[in-house]
Amino acid sequence: MNPHPHQPTPPLPAVTTVLFDIDNTLIPTRAIWQRALDAVAARLADTHPGVSAAVIASAYLHTSDRLWSDYDRALAPLGSHTAARRHVWETALSEAGLELSERQLNAHVEDFAHRQMRTIRPVPATVDAFRRLAEVYQLGVVTNGDADQQHAKLEQARLDPYFETVVCALGNGHRKPHPAPFHRACDDLAVRPEQCLYVGDEWDTDVVGARAAGLHPVWITPTGQPPPGSAPTTRFTSLASCLTVLCDHAARRPIRETEPT
C-alpha cells in the first residue's frame, strides 16, 4: 500500500520496535486544544465584558507559541509544567488586558487542562491496531511533554497498556530533537536505534531528530507535503493509514514469545 500514490515512498525497514510521538500523532492535540481554548475564552469574556473571546484566544495563542518555542529559557526555570502553564496564561491574559486573582487564575488554568483531557476519546480502530501491533513489536513513546499529562492522555485514549516505555522529556533533561530521549527509549527496551521506527508529525523534532539518533523516521503529514529534507522519508497523511501499513507488516511476522508488560 502506497500512502502517497503519486510519489514513491521508501518501504518500511524490518524492525523489532516501533516508537511514537503523542501530540498530534497518537492524539489530535491541536484540535482538542483549540476547542478547549475557544470554550474558556468565551467563559472569560462572559465575566469580563470589556474583552472579547476572540481577543483572549488570540492573545493566548500567540503567547503560548512564543513561550513554549523558547521553553529552555522562558519556561524551564519555572521548575514544573504546572508553573509553566500558569505563567503562559498569566502572561496572555495580561496582554489581553485581564488581571485575575491567584485563586481565579489557578482555577482557570486547571479548567483549561481538564477540558482538554475530557475531550480525548478512545478510537476503537486505533486501539485494535495497537493490540495487534503489540503482539509482534515492542512499542514505546518518546514525547517532549510532561509525564503526568502524557500518561493521562494515553490512559484516556485507552492506549497505555500497549507501551512498554513512555519517555517524557519535559523537565527530564534534553528534549527532542536531541538524541537523548530517543536513546533512553532504546535503552529501556534493550534495542539498538537501527531496530526502531519512530512515528511523529513534526519534521524538525521528530523526523530529523529520530534520523540523527539512528532510528528510522516515519512522518505523519496530513497535507501530504513533500519532505523539506533530501533524504527519502516514509510518510502518511494520517495515523490510521500508517497503522494500516504497520498492521499489514505485523501480519506477516511471527507473534512475540514474550507478551508486553
Question: What is the spatial distance between Cα 42 and Cα 49, in angstroms, rounded to a whole number?
Answer: 10
3-state secondary structure of 167: strand
pLDDT at 210: 97
Cell of 41: 475564552
Alpha-carbon distances of 36 from 96, 109, 203, rounded to whole Å: 18, 11, 26
Report residue 257's pLDDT band, with 50, 70 and 90 as the boundaries: low
Q: What percent of the chain has pLDDT over 70?
A: 94
DSSP 109: H
Q: How wide is the angle at C-alpha 242 spanned by C-alphas 238 and 244, nearest 5°?
A: 115
- First-to-last C-alpha distance (Å) of the chain: 31
Q: 51-100 pLDDT, tens per residue?
A: 999 999 999 999 999 999 898 899 989 988 889 999 999 999 999 999 99
Q: Which one-letter amino acid corresponds to residue 219?
A: W
pLDDT beyond 90 at 7: no
Q: 12-34 pLDDT, tens per residue?
A: 788 999 999 999 999 999 999 99
Report residue 6's pLDDT band, with 50, 70 and 90 as the boundaries: very low
pLDDT at 81: 83
pLDDT at 258: 60
Question: What is the spatial distance between Cα 173 and Cα 26, in angstroms, rounded to a whole number?
Answer: 23
Helix, strand, coil percent content, the chain, rounded in steps of 5: 50, 10, 35
Beta-sheet strand order (sheet of 17-20): 165-168, 138-143, 17-20, 196-200, 216-220, 234-236
CB 142 within 8 A of CB 198: yes
pLDDT beyond 90 at 2: no
Question: Which DSSP helix (H) or strand (E) runs through 217?
Answer: strand 216-220
Q: 44-54 pLDDT, tens per residue?
A: 999 998 899 99
pLDDT at 8: 41
- Closest C-alpha to 145, from 170, 110, 112: 170
Determine the average pLDDT of the residues in 124-132: 97
Q: 139-194 pLDDT, tens per residue?
A: 999 999 889 999 999 999 999 999 999 999 987 778 999 999 999 999 999 999 99
CB 160 within 8 A of CB 139: no
Question: What is the spatial distance between Cα 168 and Cα 18, in angstroms, rounded to a whole number?
Answer: 16
